[in-house]
Each structure stands twice: as C-alpha cells, then as structure tokens.
Amino acid sequence: MSDTIRHLAGAAHPPAGPYDADVIVLALDRLDETVAAIRSALEQTGVRRHVTILDQGSMVENLAWLETIVAGRSDATLLRSERNLGVAEGRNRATAFGRGRVVVGLDNDAEFAGTDTLAGMVAALDAEPDLAAIGCRIVGFDSGRDDPTSWGYPRALLARSGSDFLATTFVGAGHAIRRTAWDAAGGYDPALFFCWEEYDFCLRAIALGWRVRYRGDLTVRHKVGEQHRVRWSGARWFQFVRNRLYIGRKYGSGWLPLVPRTIAYLVKGLRIGQPVRTVRAIVAAARMAHCATATPLPAAALAYIQAHETAHRGGWFHRLRTEVVASPTDPVPTGVFGS
C-alpha cells in the first residue's frame, strides 16, 4: 500500500542548491519532548541544514502545536503520514524529502548536547570519506551518564564510551549517515518497522565496502520518554527477536547457524516471562525471511564484523552467562545478542 505523505507547515521543499544536512525527527505525541528535540535541531549552528519532522499519528491538539512551531519557517518542514509507518519506513520517507549530503536522525525524546553537535557530526563524516555513518554517545538527559539501554555495542567497549572506535551499527537516538551511502545501501528495510533497522542498514553498507564509526565526543542527551515507548516486556521484545533472526537469515547461508541464537532467545524469553511472545517472534521471523532473498555477506564484510564486533563480545559461554542467564529484571540494551 502506498501511504500518502502530506505537507502541513514550513517549507514546501528542501533548500535550493547544495546544503550540509537534513535533520530527521519522527513525531508521535510526546509533545514536550518533541518540541524540545525540534528546537534543539533548529538551534544548531555552523552548517547549512534543514529540519524535517514527520508526524505519524499525533493527537490533533499536539499536531496543532507542531504546526505553530514550524509555520513560516524556511529551514523546517512538518509532514504528516496517514498512519504510523514505523521507525524504518518513517525515516525512509522523511529522508526522501531532503537532499542534504548528510542525514541526521534525532529521536523525539532526545536533544543535541550543544549547538555545535550537528556541525561536529558533519565534520566527522567529511574527515573519513569511507564512513557510511557515525553513532553518537547517548547519555541520560538529566544524569549526563551513559544510558546502558541505549548502548548498541559490545559491553566490553562501554569503558570506551568517551572515545571512538569502528563499529557495525549505531544507535538511532542520535546518528548521521552519508547520503551517498544511504542511497547505495537502499535505506532502511521497512519490514523491520522498529528495532535492529540500523544494524540491518549497516550490514548492507559494510557489504559494499563502507565503514561505521562510534564517536564518543559527539553527544546526544536522551530522555527515554514513556509515552508511546515500546517496552521490553511487550511488543519491543517481539520486534527484537523477530527482526534479529530475520536479519540473520537475510545475510546468512541458512537457519542452522541461527539455532544457538534462537535457543538463547527462548531461554531469555522464559526468564522475562515472555515465552509465547518469543515463539511467535521466531515464527514471524521465518515468515518474513521466506519473502526475502538471502544474500550472504562477502568475506571482507565478515572479517570487518569479526574484528569490530564479534571479537569484543567474547565466546558463547561468556555471552550465555552475561546476556541470557542474567537477571530477568536486567534491562535489555540495544546491542545484546549482537553478531
């Protein structure tokens, strides 16, 4: 089904001529947090940028507030979709609106740590032409400390959160993608809806010879909003399991290598009280994969993943103990059960 995207307020088109960055914010209520995120983007200096907000079903009164903020601006646009397309397709649609050479994603419950953060993100990509994307350091809005639920990398690298390293993914709350890499890799897979869409994109980019870097000197402050938040005990766990197994099948040679991961998810699902949802997620992953063409990653990409992800996770016994047998009350960070 083709979903119509309507222009509601602000500039009807992106800037004429070349410009540095499109900042993408997806909106779905969370009015106070979304307004703060938009203002944080509009306050960025040192680069030519355009802010695109795609609303995916906010209440009428909240949408009216967003229109008021964007109305009359030439550097921002408010778009509206007919339904909630999800994070993956929502970002695809908002990205397609612009033409900036860098696409920056900012969650609607996050803010740039400073007015020069966006300029730093653009400069980081300019400094390394073979980078497809960079991930920012995500800290708690009030505490300023690393948010373990937003750490999308091996736990062993958490001690290096203030530095930088090559990675195989980024955390969606604050990131930047080179548009040429975005175009080459084909954007996000809309079938993922939510969860692991960044990892899936990065695998395709890495397969094409691009690299990904984490930059701990570029910070985004995350509020972890509760309204419309998908919790681990509900749909989030389903999406987590389904999408990761689907991705494993997309870029693998068959289901057999995924048996250990599938068993781990079943055990973790039991421990967090979600056995039925886990089984449903596994079945859904099989159905999704049946409709997708499996494309094993080239040897160079596998070597990259081994060096910058798998090597930092330890052996299966260590991962079983720390990631599966961990307390059922422990939060499940973005990067758990990685490659």
Domains of the chain by range and CATH? 5-222 (3.90.550.10), 235-324 (no CATH)
* End-to-end Cα spacing for the chain: 33
Distant-in-sequence, close-in-space partners of 250: CB < 8 Å, separation ≥ 6: 200, 289, 292, 294, 295
Q: 324 pLDDT exceeds 90?
A: no
Q: Token digits for 209? A: 């010879």
pLDDT digits (tens, 9 = 90+) for 306-320: 999 999 987 766 666
Q: 77 pLDDT exceeds 60?
A: yes
pLDDT digits (tens, 9 = 90+) for 192-223: 999 999 999 999 999 999 999 999 999 999 99
DSSP character string of 131-173: EEEEEEEEEETTT-SB-GGG--S-GGGGGGTTSEEEES---TT
pLDDT for residue 293:
79
Predicted TM-score of the model (pTM): 0.92
pLDDT digits (tens, 9 = 90+) for 98-125: 999 999 999 999 999 999 999 999 999 9
Q: What percent of the chain has pLDDT over 70?
A: 89
Q: 94 pLDDT exceeds 60?
A: yes
Q: What percent of the chain has pLDDT over 90?
A: 81
CA dihedral 112, 185, 28, 147 (to 10 degrees): -40
Q: In the beta sheet, which residues pair with residue 24?
A: 52, 105
